[in-house]
Each structure stands twice: as structure tokens, then as C-alpha cells.
Chain A
């Protein structure tokens, strides 16, 4: 499972860093670091973060998850 943040959209609302602190880390006021590959155990956190982004900048691809088949999902 992979994710990417569209940094052209990102406006630093930091909602992802609240809801998925194991995946998204804010450095200083604005710089956002994130783990682009994540495990099943962090799936809930990532889904919450993607849904919460006010500008929908967190794009998630669950396609390598067997249970869900090959359906791509853009958060």
C-alpha cells in the first residue's frame, strides 16, 4: 500500500499529522515528511488522514492489498 501527498495542493492544515502520526510528520511549521509505503496495521490511520485532508491532497493506493483486489483508491 502506497501513498503520495500532492504538495501543490497541500496547504499545511496538518490534519494528516494529527490523525496518522506514524505516517505523517511535520517538521517545523510547514515541512511535511511522510512514509510512502505503509503496512496494513496503519491502514485505518491513513484512511482517516486522507479523508480529513481539507484539500484532498493525500492520494492513497491500496492496490497491493489482496482482500480488496486491484481496485485503486484515491483518498
Chain B
């Protein structure tokens, strides 16, 4: 990975596609670390926070959300063409997000359920943005961790690969000495979900729901088998896998 020019400040842009807007705010909420980053970057496009927004070329673009309409897909392609590095920010951009739940039904039927007349833009299925463009780095999470957004920007500035946990939520859960939900007979997505949240939900007495998407080489089939053994129906298993990252290859095909 080539180093972004360091003589001038790197030009950073933050774009939003279909999403809740929460991940881009996590960057602002990184507090001190974010303010320190401003010594090295110029945020030149960030409409939620700025009124003067510049067109590209950019050095680093963070894209929040998934591209869910013809307009958004075209917009995404233009964004890709305008930047050196493209970062998928959050589970929507990485794996389609919660709106990928709808991928298994005809979108037109779903639109009819919500709107009496067709809306201005027609939603399509929801995939991670790498379905349409090349992505240089992924920050997972719903929402992303502020420290991980800072990490990805710092790494790109230095020309190194960002370091994210290569293990699943289970590893962090064991380190926190939580009682295992699966051993108690309660379905939990921890074994196949990307770590980095410090096992937040299991530590808060709730099973993991998989909001960070699949970990590296997840054994989805083995977990599905275990869930069946615990008495889950096919629909139950499908609901578990088709949630935050229903569009990911690792989760989409489970429980069909």
C-alpha cells in the first residue's frame, strides 16, 4: 500500500448512502483522537458537518451505507473514481446492513407494503459496496468503534494495512470471562462474528446478534448445526444469519 502524500494534509471525504448516519458520527465522537487527526487531514467533504464541500480528487473516502438504488450505485462509482483509497465504513457498507434482510423478497412487493404510490427513488437489494466498486479497507460494526475509524485513517496515511482483530467475538468473550450463551443453550452468533467490540453484548447479558458481520473463515454451517441441536427451527436459524450481514457470502446461504 503506497503512502498518502505527507507534505500536504490528506484530503478526506465522507459520503453517506443508505444508512442511519450513525457511523460517520462515531468519527466525530472519537473526541481527542479525532482532533489530533485534524493535524494530518483536511476533511473537505462532509455535508452533515460542513457547508463548504469540495469535489474530488480525494486521498481517502469513507463511505457509510449500502448502495440501494440506481442513483446510489452510480454515485458510488463516481466516488470511487474520485479517490485514491476507498473505505467501507460500517456493516451497511461492508455487508449490506440490516436492510439486506429484505434481499430475500421481491423489492417491489416490499415497496408496496410501505408506500401507497411509488417513491421518487426505487430501492434495490442491499449489498456491501464491494459488489459494485473496489474497496481498499473495511471497518465493520453497527456502529463502528470510534477507535477503529481513527485506526483506518492513520494506517492509510502511513501506507500500512489497518490492524483489526482477526478472531471472533468468542475470543474476547472468553477473555472477559463471560458465561457462554451457547453452553447455556441460548443461540449466539459470537463464534462466527468478527471481534473488536470486546464482546459488548455477551458482557451486557445478551447473546451476540452478529452486528459486525462474519469473522475470517467463519464456520457458519457448524454454528447452524449447533443451533438446530438447541431446538431452533429453520426460520429461527435464517433470522439469526439474515440480519446485519445477510448479503455476505458467509451468512446468506445458511438455513435455506
User: Does B bind A?
Assistant: no
Q: Which A residues form the contact surface with B (CB < 8 A)?
A: none
